[in-house]
Amino acid sequence: MTADIVDAHHHVWRLSVRPQPWITGPGLAPLLRDFTLAELEPQARAAGVNTTVVVQTVSSEDETAELLALAAGPGPVGAVVGWTDLTAPDVAERVAALRELPGGGCLRGLRHQAQDEPDPRWLCRAE
């Protein structure tokens, strides 16, 4: 029996498809390039990682759909942490729609990037 080694948090993006506005300043300059699953796969395999969790980087259901499609295809992606508007009155329907997409069964979580909110107390709201 072999151990299932999981990379619990990684990102993929193509800057020509979706800019990453959070990559600012000289300290993050090395991240200002594409990161693809094709690049990750041989590195993961060499490290003995056979399952990965891909995590969203921008507040976009389109990006989440793309990540779910990666999970539906061949490769190591076994789970997705995506995004939907958690404050929307139809959030349950939005989540259900994401779960109906190819790879939707791999949706394991949703996150909201509170640091992008102009209100520093966004997480303290009653709702």
Integer Cα distance of 111 and 114 in angstroms = 9
Domain that holds residue 113: 5-124
Q: How many residues does the chain have?
A: 127
Q: What is the pTM of this model?
A: 0.91
Structure confidence at residue 3 as a pLDDT band (50, 70, 90): confident
The number of distinct structural domains making up the chain is 1
| Strand 5-10 to 107-110 pairing | unpaired
Integer Cα distance of 61 and 68 in angstroms = 10
Q: Give the domain CATH number at 25.
A: 3.20.20.140
Structure confidence at residue 126 as a pLDDT band (50, 70, 90): confident
CB contact at 8 A, 84 and 98: yes
pLDDT tens per residue across span 9-68: 999 999 999 999 989 999 999 999 999 999 999 999 999 999 999 999 999 999 999 999
Q: What is the mean pLDDT of residues 91-104?
A: 98
Which residue carries 């999970």 as its tokens? 71
| Strand 49-55 to 77-82 pairing | parallel
Helix, strand or coil for residue 22? Answer: coil
